[in-house]
Copies of this chain bind each other. A is one copy, B any other.
Amino acid sequence: MPSLPSGLLGDLDPTSDRAVFRQIADQLREAIDRGRFKEGEKLPSEAELVEHYGVSRMTVRNSFSVLQGEGLVHAEHGKGVFVRPRPPVRRLASDRFARRHREQGKSAFIVEADAAGSHPQVDSLEVKEEKASQDVSNRLGSVRRVLARRRRYLLDGRPVEFATSYLPLDIARGTPIAEPNPGPGGIYARLEELGHRLDHFEEEIRARMPSPDEVRTLRLASGVPVIHLIRTAFDQEGRAVEVCDTVMAADAYVLSYQLPAT
Which A residues are within 8 Å of any B CB, using their own CB? 26, 29, 58, 65, 69-71, 94-95, 97-100, 198-212, 222-227, 233, 250-251, 253-262
Query: Shortest distance in angstroms between A181's beta carbon and chain B's nearest beta carbon?
Result: 22
Question: Is A256 a contact partner of B69 (Cβ separation < 8 A)?
Answer: no
A205's contact among B29, B65, B254, B262, by CB below 8 Å, is which? B254
A262's contact among B95, B251, B255, by CB below 8 Å, is which? B95
- Chain B positions within 8 Å of A260 at CB level: 199-200
CB nearest to A259 among chain B residues:
B201
A204's contact among B210, B223, B255, by CB below 8 Å, is which? B255
Question: Is B206 a contact partner of A254 (Cβ separation < 8 A)?
Answer: yes
In angstroms, Cα B29 to Cα A212, docked, is: 10
Query: Shortest distance in angstroms between A208's beta carbon and chain B's nearest beta carbon?
Result: 6
Query: Shortest distance in angstroms between A3's beta carbon and chain B's nearest beta carbon?
Result: 28
Q: Kindly list the 4 A-B residue pairs having the minimum CB-CB distance in the complex, ordered from nearest.
A: A207-B207, A225-B225, A198-B261, A207-B250
- Chain B positions within 8 Å of A26 at CB level: 212
- Chain B positions within 8 Å of A95 at CB level: 259, 262
In angstroms, Cα B254 to Cα A203, docked, is: 10
CB nearest to A68 among chain B residues:
B69
- Chain B positions within 8 Å of A257 at CB level: 94, 202-203, 205, 257, 259
